[in-house]
């Protein structure tokens, strides 16, 4: 079922990119809570396991259902393009009690036993205290899970914003959306995100839209935000395939013996999404040879591809990352 965001003329003038350390913190908690499909983040999960064991995340996880409304309270869209965690946390702490209670009720609605649980009752009985407690937990999670790696994460997110800002200038808004995710479409002044749970339409009514790259959302698109929060679309950042690994100086010999030198070189060169021509130039190979290698690697489940405009970009899958980096 789709999520639809309807734009007026003023909304197109008020679209902006932003980076949110607070959102990354709650997204990291979600990733930690669902380790059955670690994707690109297996090295991170192994490394932070001990620090995570000391956190009591139950109140936050109750507001992060796998389906249905996820809390806007704990990850509101940032007010500026690069707000600090402390600034975002201050905004969370300033949330009015009645707004917090409404958000909590939406999170717990339809989930068997959630409202009646001890944690659910505590959050609903005193929403002002709930805001203080949730803010304190988010701060603890930030310090344990995200802050040690924030310089690396921020660099990747800032690179994504710079890249897509340039692409916005080159392509326009409609074609940019297709590059962010194949699940996003644009027609009749309406942005549609397919594959979401529930059917929801929101008229932006002059608020505009925040576009936010995220390290931890892959492969999902997160969209919506209920009033009074500004609508946002959160999409997977470019280049997360090599986020937790250090680039090798050369293709490992063992991988070259397994795949063949040229094919292994192509796999290792994809530390961020790239097309056939760019890879051929980088590796000094004929585009036709690179194209054949890419098709073989994709067929083996080591790459995925997406069409962006007139070019096809290739990106390593978690299995491809494991082979290329030994992660």
State whether residue 238 is helix, strand or coil: coil
**Tokens of residue 140, six digits:** 């603890």
When pLDDT is cut at 50, 70 and 90, the band that residue 298 belongs to is very high
> Does 226 score more than 90 pLDDT?
no
The CATH number linked to 251 is 1.10.10.10
**Which pLDDT belongs to residue 41?**
86
Both 261 and 184 in one domain: the answer is no
Residues 100-152: tens digit of each pLDDT: 999 999 888 877 888 888 988 999 999 999 999 999 999 999 999 999 999 88
Helix (H, G, I), strand (E, B) or coil at 314: strand
**How far is the C-alpha of 17 from the C-alpha of 213, rounded, in Å?**
8
- On the question of pLDDT at 202 being above 80, the answer is yes
Last residue of a domain, one of 188, 217, 240: 240
Where among 240, 270, 295 does a domain terminate? 240
Of 240, 257, 275, the one marking the end of a domain is 240
- Whether 278 and 206 share a structural domain: no
Least confident of 117-126, 217-226, 244-253: 244-253
Q: How many domains does the chain have?
A: 2
d(CA 105, CA 87): 26
Mark whether 303 and 234 lie in a shared domain.
Answer: no
Structural domain range at position 302: 245-325
* pTM of the complete model: 0.75
Range name among 43-47, 190-194, 204-208, 222-226 with the lowest pLDDT average: 222-226
Smallest CA-to-CA distance from 193 within 235, 164, 254 is with 235
HSE-CB for 52 with a 13 A CA cutoff? 18
Let me know whether 78 and 155 are in one domain: yes
27 shares a domain with 165: yes
Higher-pLDDT residue of 239, 183: 183
Give the neighbor-by-neighbor strand order of the sheet with 184-187: 184-187, 190-193, 3-6, 200-203
One domain, residues 148 and 206: yes
């Amino acid at each position: 079922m789709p999520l639809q965001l309807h734009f007026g003329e003023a909304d197109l003038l008020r679209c902006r990119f932003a980076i949110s350390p607070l959102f990354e913190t709650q997204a990291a908690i979600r990733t930690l809570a669902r380790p059955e499909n670690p994707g690109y983040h297996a090295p991170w999960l192994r490394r932070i396991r001990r620090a995570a064991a000391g956190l009591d995340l139950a109140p936050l996880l109750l507001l992060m259902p796998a389906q249905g409304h996820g809390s806007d309270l704990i990850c509101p869209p940032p007010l500026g393009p690069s707000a600090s965690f402390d600034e975002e946390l201050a905004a969370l702490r300033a949330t009015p009690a009645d707004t917090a209670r409404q958000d909590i009720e939406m999170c717990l609605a339809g989930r068997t036993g959630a409202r009646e649980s001890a944690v659910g009752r505590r959050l609903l009985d005193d929403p002002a205290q709930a805001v203080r407690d949730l803010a304190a937990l988010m701060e603890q999670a930030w310090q344990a899970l995200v802050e040690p790696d924030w310089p690396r994460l921020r660099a990747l997110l800032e690179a994504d914003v710079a890249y897509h800002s340039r692409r916005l200038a080159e392509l326009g808004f409609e074609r940019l959306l297709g590059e962010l995710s194949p699940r996003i479409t644009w027609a009749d002044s309406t942005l549609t995100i397919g594959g979401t749970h529930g059917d929801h339409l929101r008229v932006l009514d002059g608020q505009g839209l925040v576009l936010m790259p995220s390290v931890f959302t892959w492969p999902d698109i997160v969209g919506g935000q209920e009033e009074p929060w500004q609508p946002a679309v959160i999409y997977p950042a470019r280049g997360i395939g090599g986020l937790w690994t250090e680039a090798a100086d050369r293709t490992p010999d063992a991988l070259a013996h397994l795949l063949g030198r040229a094919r292994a070189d192509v796999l290792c060169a994809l530390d961020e999404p790239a097309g056939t021509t760019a890879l051929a130039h980088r590796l000094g190979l004929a585009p036709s040879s690179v194209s054949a290698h890419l098709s073989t690697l994709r067929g083996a489940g080591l790459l995925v591809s997406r069409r962006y405009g007139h070019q096809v970009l290739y990106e390593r899958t978690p299995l491809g990352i494991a082979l290329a980096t030994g992660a």
